[in-house]
Amino acid sequence: MKIGILISGRGSNMTAIIEAVRDQRIPDAEVSVVISDKKNALGLEKASERGIETIVVARKNRTREEHDAEIVNELEKRGVELVCLAGYMRLLSKDFVRAFPEKIINIHPSLLPSFPGLDAQRQAIDYGVRISGCTVHFVDEHLDHGAIILQKSVEVTNEDTSATLSAKILEHEHTLYVEALRKIVGGKCQIIGRRVVFEN
Amino acid sequence: MKIGILISGRGSNMTAIIEAVRDQRIPDAEVSVVISDKKNALGLEKASERGIETIVVARKNRTREEHDAEIVNELEKRGVELVCLAGYMRLLSKDFVRAFPEKIINIHPSLLPSFPGLDAQRQAIDYGVRISGCTVHFVDEHLDHGAIILQKSVEVTNEDTSATLSAKILEHEHTLYVEALRKIVGGKCQIIGRRVVFEN
């Protein structure tokens, strides 16, 4: 299965996915391309170093629809079948979502539906939760809203700041994202209502 | 510390608290009264059987404020210092909350702020989360909103229904509520922002 990864920043989840594919922890997969909407995203160099083609598709004051159409075109040209968002900081348009039905995945650093949107770890600290975590989910056109594939909980202590909580969650993000992709690539999955069910 | 418990139904968390106080798992505490807003709440008999005074304060088409004033009066007459909601199905008025500042506690069967309100377990199943749980929190005048004392996570499987998830969470509710009360009764606690911090 050909995977395309979208980034906007350092791409730490991108790196985790590339290395898991390389090491066959996600078998029968290949990372075909990494696309960034920011030309100076730190993840671009990390992808190149690992032998992955990289493209920058800048926003250039275009509408979301125009920008997304170019990204979809680049993905389709390369036969990408599964799109992974890894710190990609733009909401996808309906047309993008419809171009890859149930084939776009994201990870978010909270236990959704708590704390969608930016700075989820800061939101969790400010709310005073004792448990937060991360969520791998399918992407729809609403923010951090699609059907949930996997979640992992993380304890929040009184000593935690937004930074320490982010670091704790990030460790789990890498393993959770890889585990979700292994399931998605390796088996058939169905979304029943909002529930993601894997067939053996 | 004198505890008053408010119920509307079977009062399973009420029973857990009464027995934990009796067995000294919550030391230096006494359950002084159980108050129900429904005359046929099953918990009333369970409280009586365990030697606790019970009162019914029915709503009788009164405003929330009038109804709450009578409950507050009954609690104050008995010198209650800590109010525990245990399946009490009515939002408290501002005046009730102000009569017991930072001394009213509730348990909710979700990881707040996800799924506040009625049927939290059904909401969790319908949303398709992989992790839910329960939350012990201070009560303010907003629904399931006050500062969080403790949370416990519970895994949701594909086989879970609202009923099985409720049963799994309920087990943890009893131990979590008792643990929270032991901390509240046994030590000084401060709410800093929304964060509940216990001094040793």
Predicted local distance difference test score (pLDDT) of residue A200: 63
Name the pLDDT band for B200 (thresholds 50, 70, 90): low
Predicted local distance difference test score (pLDDT) of residue B74: 98
| CB atoms near residue A9 (< 10 Å) | 16
C-alpha distances out from residue A53 to A5, A18, A100, B82, Å: 11, 12, 21, 63
Yes or no: say if A105 and A138 are a contact pair by the CB < 8 Å rule. Answer: yes
Task: Using alpha carbons, select from B127, B126, B179, B128 the residue that is nearest to residue B152.
Answer: B179
Predicted local distance difference test score (pLDDT) of residue A188: 82
Q: Which residue of B has its CA nearest to A116?
A: B114
Q: Mean per-residue pLDDT for B45-65? A: 96
Alpha helices for B78-138 (secondary structure H): 94-99, 120-127
Query: Per DSSP, which regions of chain B are E strands?
Result: 2-7, 30-36, 54-56, 82-85, 104-108, 131-138, 148-155, 189-192, 195-198
Give the single-character DSSP code of A156: -
Indicate the pTM of the whole model: 0.94
Is B112 within 8 Å of A128 when comparing Cβ atoms?
A: no
Name the pLDDT band for B189 (thresholds 50, 70, 90): confident
CA-to-CA distance for A120 and A126, rounded, in angstroms? 10
- Residue A108 annotated in active site: yes
Is A127 within 8 Å of B148 when comparing Cβ atoms?
A: yes
| Of B5 and B200, more confident | B5
Q: Which residue of B has its CA nearest to A128?
A: B195
Predicted local distance difference test score (pLDDT) of residue B93: 95
Is A194 within 8 Å of B128 when comparing Cβ atoms?
A: yes
| CB atoms near residue B199 (< 10 Å) | 7
Yes or no: say if B89 and B13 are a contact pair by the CB < 8 Å rule. Answer: no
Taken in order B59, B62, B64, B70, is the CA torsion positive or negative?
negative
Predicted local distance difference test score (pLDDT) of residue A198: 87
Yes or no: say if A92 and A141 are a contact pair by the CB < 8 Å rule. Answer: yes
pLDDT digits 0-9 by tens, B129-155: 999 999 999 999 899 999 999 999 999
Q: Which of A114, A115, A151 sits opposite B130 (nearest CB)?
A: A151
Phi, psi of A9, deg, nearest 5: -140, -130
Yes or no: say if B106 and B82 are a contact pair by the CB < 8 Å rule. Answer: no
Alpha helices for chain A (secondary structure H): 12-22, 43-49, 64-77, 94-99, 120-127, 162-186
pLDDT digits 0-9 by tens, A35-49: 999 999 999 999 999
Predicted local distance difference test score (pLDDT) of residue B187: 84
Mutate to test the interface with A, among B123, B129, B198 (most CBs of A within 10 A): B129
Mean pLDDT in chain B?
96
Listing from the earlier edge strand, what are the strands of the sheet with B104-108?
Answer: B54-56, B30-36, B2-7, B82-85, B104-108, B131-138, B148-155, B195-198, B189-192
Taken in order B34, B39, B43, B44, is the CA torsion positive or negative?
positive
CATH code for the structural domain at B107-200: 3.40.50.170
CATH code for the structural domain at A1-101: 3.40.50.170
> Residues of A near B (CB-CB distance < 8 A)?
111-115, 126-131, 133, 135, 147-148, 150-153, 158, 193-197
Name the pLDDT band for B196 (thresholds 50, 70, 90): very high
Task: Judge whether residue B51 has pLDDT over 90.
Answer: yes
C-alpha distances out from residue B87 to A153, B84, B150, Å: 26, 10, 17
Q: Which of A128, A193, A194 sits opposite B196 (nearest CB)?
A: A128
pLDDT digits 0-9 by tens, B80-117: 999 999 999 999 999 999 999 999 999 999 999 999 99
Mean pLDDT in chain A?
96
Yes or no: say if A102 and A191 are a contact pair by the CB < 8 Å rule. Answer: yes
Amino acid in position A166: S
Predicted local distance difference test score (pLDDT) of residue B148: 98
CA of A113, closest CA in chain B: separation in Å?
Answer: 6
Q: Which residue of B has its CA nearest to A125?
A: B195
Read off the tokens for A196. 């993601």
Q: Which residue has the tokens 């995203």?
A: A41
Predicted local distance difference test score (pLDDT) of residue A23: 97
> Could you say which residues of chain A have pLDDT below 50?
none
Q: Mean per-residue pLDDT for B56-67? A: 95
Task: Judge whether residue B185 has pLDDT over 70.
Answer: yes
CA-to-CA distance for A35 and A38, rounded, in angstroms? 9
As annotated, the residues of chain B forming the CATH 3.40.50.170 domain(s) are 1-101, 107-200
Radius of gyration of chain B (CA): 16
Radius of gyration of chain A (CA): 16
pLDDT digits 0-9 by tens, B111-136: 999 999 999 999 999 999 999 999 99
> Residues of B near A (CB-CB distance < 8 A)?
111-115, 126-131, 133, 135, 147-148, 150-153, 158, 193-197
